[in-house]
Structure 1
Amino acid sequence: MPADLAAPDTARDDALGVVSAHAGNRRHGSTYALWWCGLALVVVLLAWLSLFVGARPVSATQVWDALFAYAGSSDRDQEVVVGYRIPRALLAVVVGAALGMAGSLIQRLMRNPLGDPQILGVNAGASFAVAIAVGFLGLTSMWSYIWFAFAGAVAAMAIVYGLGSAGRGRITPVRVTMAGVAVTAVLTGAVRGIGLLNPDAFDALRIWEVGSLVGR
């Protein structure tokens, strides 16, 4: 085929490829938008259902009135919804979003789909610092040992990164993951040991690890 005839065909194929790529990107964008909308609706639905859950039964009418026709503290049911359950639901959404963002950031920074705070020693470092604060320093308030948890998480991550980058060769996600597993095992054993030696510390650690939205 002559070159002057082949050139238009090549240009046409390139143009069709660009159009197909744009169409594929639009389809993927629409799919992601639908997924996000669906997940947002699920979150809203769960938050709405949580307003009915608790030790005190509250009807749908009372929940609706508490949201749009609040009568003040004179109505006990509405006070329960406004004073306790709505803040609890909003806090649950914020905490869930924060945890999801933290996990996503760790995966992006480590370039590792297995990058999880539990695997990389972040949770174990925080638990170990809280165990020290409760078991040896006698701290019992969340606002007093939350800073220990933050410092322990940072220190554990630094240790994991240092172990993963030690030795010959460049740092890889696999090396960091293996270092995180080792640090997690050591710190978890230390936390359990402190809990066995100090029952009060064990109870505080159990409550801290499970977590709660009550009174927050």
Structure 2
Amino acid sequence: MLRLFAEGKDLHAETAKLMFRLPPETDTKKHLYKGVPVRKIAKTINFGLAYGMGAHGLADRAGVDITTAKDLIHTYFNTYKGIARWLPQTAKRALAQGYVVTLAGRRREFPSVPDGLDWNREVRAIAERSAKNHPIQGTNADILKRALALLYAALPANAHLILAVHDEIVVECPEARITEAAQVMQTMMVQACQDFLHVVHIPEPEVLIDLYWRKE
């Protein structure tokens, strides 16, 4: 996965090719597995596992049956063995020490799970999912907040931060400042990532210039 980032590849498309052993030239949006585009399957797994998604969740989101979903998750973990090790190790360590942290050091605490209760298994499962998720989504939040702080200090005159939409930042500025503001946004977004991510290659951020916010 680190190699795919370093090469600037489409993570979801390349994951699909690796999982399904497809030729490099395959259009993963059109290539189907049991009627579902393989890129959609890969994207669902790439994002879903961070939230603790299991076979039932994958089946619902990707539109496949449970048996197929289990097989796909097994294939994914065989493809990315590092992720297969990291997720359970992170959950186990978090519950053992009572907390987990983001790359910025923000801590989420997990009180000990009592033994001998009927709901012990469910409580532990929820805690494990949260423990896996916090370093990933929490670090994303760290990066976004860092980017907002950098932009607040660096944006040109009359350019203003409007809102943050999960992994996007919206800025409003006069037409005369569009080019300058766009360049500053690209620079600061990369800087915010580099402040925390020292191994992963940071791709150039995409800047959409329009009269209103929209999703491409």
State if a TM-score over 0.5 links the two structures: no
- Comparing both structures, which one devotes a greater share of its residues to strand? 2
**Under a length normalisation based on structure 1, what TM-score does the superposition of the two structures give?**
0.27
TM-score normalized by structure 2? Answer: 0.27
Structure with more helix by fraction = 1
Which structure has the bigger radius of gyration?
1
